[in-house]
Protein backbone atom coordinates (compact mmCIF):
# COMPACT_ATOMS: atom_id res chain seq x y z
CA UNK A 1 0.00 0.00 0.00
CA UNK A 2 1.18 3.52 -0.71
CA UNK A 3 3.11 4.86 2.30
CA UNK A 4 0.72 7.72 3.04
CA UNK A 5 -2.49 5.70 2.67
CA UNK A 6 -4.01 3.85 5.60
CA UNK A 7 -7.26 2.14 6.46
CA UNK A 8 -7.51 4.52 9.43
CA UNK A 9 -7.45 7.44 6.98
CA UNK A 10 -10.43 5.89 5.19
CA UNK A 11 -12.30 5.52 8.48
CA UNK A 12 -11.98 9.26 9.04
CA UNK A 13 -13.65 10.25 5.77
CA UNK A 14 -16.90 12.13 6.14
CA UNK A 15 -19.47 9.50 5.22
CA UNK A 16 -20.29 5.82 5.20
CA UNK A 17 -17.19 4.14 3.72
CA UNK A 18 -17.66 1.02 1.61
CA UNK A 19 -14.45 -0.49 0.26
CA UNK A 20 -14.59 -2.44 -3.01
CA UNK A 21 -12.19 -5.39 -3.13
CA UNK A 22 -11.79 -6.55 -6.73
CA UNK A 23 -10.28 -9.98 -6.02
CA UNK A 24 -8.98 -12.31 -3.31
CA UNK A 25 -5.52 -10.75 -3.32
CA UNK A 26 -6.98 -7.28 -2.72
CA UNK A 27 -9.14 -8.71 0.05
CA UNK A 28 -6.19 -10.35 1.81
CA UNK A 29 -4.15 -7.17 1.49
CA UNK A 30 -6.99 -5.04 2.87
CA UNK A 31 -7.60 -7.34 5.85
CA UNK A 32 -3.89 -7.54 6.68
CA UNK A 33 -3.54 -3.74 6.54
CA UNK A 34 -6.66 -3.25 8.67
CA UNK A 35 -5.39 -5.72 11.26
CA UNK A 36 -1.96 -4.06 11.38
CA UNK A 37 -3.73 -0.77 12.14
CA UNK A 38 -5.76 -2.25 14.99
CA UNK A 39 -9.11 -2.79 13.26
CA UNK A 40 -11.32 -5.71 14.27
CA UNK A 41 -14.79 -7.06 13.64
CA UNK A 42 -17.44 -6.05 16.21
CA UNK A 43 -17.10 -9.40 17.99
CA UNK A 44 -13.37 -8.80 18.45
CA UNK A 45 -12.21 -11.17 15.69
CA UNK A 46 -9.04 -10.11 13.93
CA UNK A 47 -9.55 -9.25 10.26
CA UNK A 48 -7.23 -12.01 9.02
CA UNK A 49 -9.28 -14.59 10.92
CA UNK A 50 -12.12 -13.95 8.46
CA UNK A 51 -12.54 -13.88 4.72
CA UNK A 52 -12.94 -10.65 2.81
CA UNK A 53 -16.16 -9.92 0.97
CA UNK A 54 -16.25 -7.96 -2.28
CA UNK A 55 -17.56 -4.93 -0.34
CA UNK A 56 -16.53 -4.18 3.24
CA UNK A 57 -17.53 -1.28 5.50
CA UNK A 58 -14.86 0.64 7.42
CA UNK A 59 -16.00 2.50 10.54
CA UNK A 60 -14.51 5.37 12.53
CA UNK A 61 -14.68 3.27 15.71
CA UNK A 62 -12.06 0.87 14.30
CA UNK A 63 -14.44 -1.87 13.25
CA UNK A 64 -14.98 -3.61 9.94
CA UNK A 65 -18.34 -4.93 8.80
CA UNK A 66 -19.63 -7.11 6.02
CA UNK A 67 -22.09 -5.21 3.84
CA UNK A 68 -25.52 -6.84 3.68
CA UNK A 69 -27.97 -7.07 0.81
CA UNK A 70 -29.40 -3.55 1.22
CA UNK A 71 -25.90 -2.04 1.33
CA UNK A 72 -24.83 -3.99 -1.75
CA UNK A 73 -27.88 -2.76 -3.62
CA UNK A 74 -27.14 0.82 -2.52
CA UNK A 75 -23.50 0.43 -3.60
CA UNK A 76 -24.41 -0.94 -7.02
CA UNK A 77 -27.33 1.41 -7.67
CA UNK A 78 -25.31 4.57 -7.18
CA UNK A 79 -27.15 5.70 -4.05
CA UNK A 80 -25.55 8.89 -2.81
CA UNK A 81 -26.56 8.74 0.87
CA UNK A 82 -27.29 6.19 3.55
CA UNK A 83 -29.41 8.00 6.07
CA UNK A 84 -27.76 11.34 6.75
CA UNK A 85 -24.30 10.17 5.59
CA UNK A 86 -22.85 10.27 2.10
CA UNK A 87 -22.03 6.81 0.72
CA UNK A 88 -18.35 6.76 -0.26
CA UNK A 89 -17.33 3.92 -2.58
CA UNK A 90 -13.56 3.32 -2.37
CA UNK A 91 -11.72 1.19 -4.91
CA UNK A 92 -9.10 -0.36 -2.63
CA UNK A 93 -6.64 -1.18 -5.42
CA UNK A 94 -6.59 2.44 -6.61
CA UNK A 95 -6.42 3.73 -3.04
CA UNK A 96 -3.56 1.40 -2.10
CA UNK A 97 -1.67 2.34 -5.26
CA UNK A 98 -1.79 6.01 -4.25
CA UNK A 99 -4.03 7.05 -7.14
CA UNK A 100 -5.70 10.43 -6.73
CA UNK A 101 -9.09 9.22 -8.00
CA UNK A 102 -9.95 6.22 -5.86
CA UNK A 103 -13.65 6.92 -5.28
CA UNK A 104 -16.00 5.02 -7.59
CB 60 within 8 A of CB 33: no
Strand 85-91 relative to strand 16-20, pairing: parallel
Answer yes or no: is pLDDT of 3 > 70.
Answer: no
Encode pLDDT of 37-68 as tens digits.
999 999 999 999 999 999 999 999 999 999 99
Euclidean distance between CA atoms 85 and 92, whole angstroms: 20
Q: What is the model's pLDDT at position 4?
A: 79
Answer yes or no: is pLDDT of 2 > 70.
Answer: no
Question: Rounded mean pLDDT of 16-23?
Answer: 98
Answer yes or no: is pLDDT of 79 > 70.
Answer: yes
Residue 63: Cβ-neighbour burial (10 angstroms; 0-12, 13-18, 19+): middle
Cross-sheet strand order for the sheet of 85-91: 64-66, 55-58, 16-20, 85-91, 81-82
Look up the pTM and report it: 0.94
Amino acid sequence: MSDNRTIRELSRLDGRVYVYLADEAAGRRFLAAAEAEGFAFPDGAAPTQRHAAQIMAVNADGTLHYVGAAGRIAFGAGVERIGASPLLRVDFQRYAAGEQHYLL
